[in-house]
Amino acid sequence: MRSYVAADAAAVARHANNANVARGLRDRFPHPYTRADAETFLRGVANAAVESDFAIATAEEVVGGIGVQRQHDVHRLTAEIGYWLGEPVWGRGLATRAVTVVSAWLFQTSPLERLFACVFETNPASARVLEKAGYQLEGRLRRAVYKDGRVLDQLLYARLRP
């Protein structure tokens, strides 16, 4: 993992522009995903007051991303973690490694007590990533999301400060 740079736009767009990738993510992750979408995202990352989005990269290029959204008010010691990978690198353990490393880093460098992620019921691979990274299933949010014309359950996973 590393920080994003503006030169990542082409690789981000290439790996993100995939219906199979978008299917597992919130609608704010556009599909189709264009070079302009990648450039807009990278400008936002570059202008962020606190770095919270990181590139998942091979030696050659960016192949995905991982980000953290810190919560507010009474949830201020909680953060949501989210991630995606380009389909050509699925099944290699990259997402599990990224989630494991970022989670450990967050607990070491911040006062966070809880990290969580929500997974669509139609994405068992992402659930396995979280389980391998030490997250525990806390519950099923029934009929919680509307994605691609379907109402789906969402699985809530969390990892607590060791």
Q: Please, what are the domains in the chain?
A: 6-160 (3.40.630.30)
| pLDDT tens for the 162 residues of the chain, in order | 999 999 999 999 999 999 999 999 999 999 999 999 999 999 999 999 999 999 999 999 999 999 999 999 999 999 999 999 999 999 999 999 999 999 999 999 999 999 999 999 999 999 999 999 999 999 999 999 999 999 999 999 999 999
Which residues, other chains included, contact 158 with Cβ-Cβ below 8 Å and sequence gap of 6+?
114, 115, 116, 117, 135, 136, 138
Q: Which of 44, 51, 40, 86 has the alpha carbon at shortest distance from 65?
A: 86
pLDDT value at residue 125: 96
> What are the contacts of 143-151 at 24+ separation with CB within 8 A?
144/118, 145/120, 147/23, 147/27, 147/120, 147/122, 148/23
pLDDT value at residue 93: 96
Q: Which two tokens stand for residue 90?
A: 């699925």
